[in-house]
Amino acid sequence: MTENELSKLIVDLCYKIHKRYGPGLFENVYEEIFCYEWIKTNIPFSRQQEIVLVHEEIKLGVGFRADVIIDNKVLIEFKSIESLSEVHYKQVQTYLNLTGIKLGLLVNFNVPLIKDGIHRIVNNL
């Protein structure tokens, strides 16, 4: 599947979760529900995957973790906060740059309408 095809499935699942539970849960709860539901797709994913920073040929485990990476093609960062700030977008962009993944989705579930909480961030897509 392409990044855009995966993105559609991801967005549809986020809509389903938000419709069922709405805003107000903790970020890790949304992530847990998402992963439980995603398993049903049989599309590979990793959760809380460490992102390594390579500096002058030295691999540094500096604590970067992607919430979910789907099929090594789409990175998802979940939030459940009042409002996103520029640092949240930069976080996803940094993760994309470090992993070489081309598409990131920043998903804030703490919004009345989930369409307002889903943001695409691209890295040479």
- pLDDT, tens digit (0-9, with 9 covering 90-100), for 111-123: 999 999 999 999 9
Domains parsed from the chain with CATH numbers: 3-122 (3.40.1350)
Alpha carbons within 13 angstroms on the beta-carbon side of residue 114 total 21
Write out pLDDT tens, residues 61-87.
777 999 999 999 999 999 999 999 999
Instruction: Yes or no: say if 119 and 105 are a contact pair by the CB < 8 Å rule.
Output: yes
pTM: 0.92
Q: Which residues fall within 8 angstroms of residue 65, CB to CB, at 6 or more apart?
A: 48, 49, 50, 51
Helix (H, G, I), strand (E, B) or coil at 112: coil
State how far the Cα of 16 lies from the Cα of 10, in Å rounded to an integer.
Answer: 10
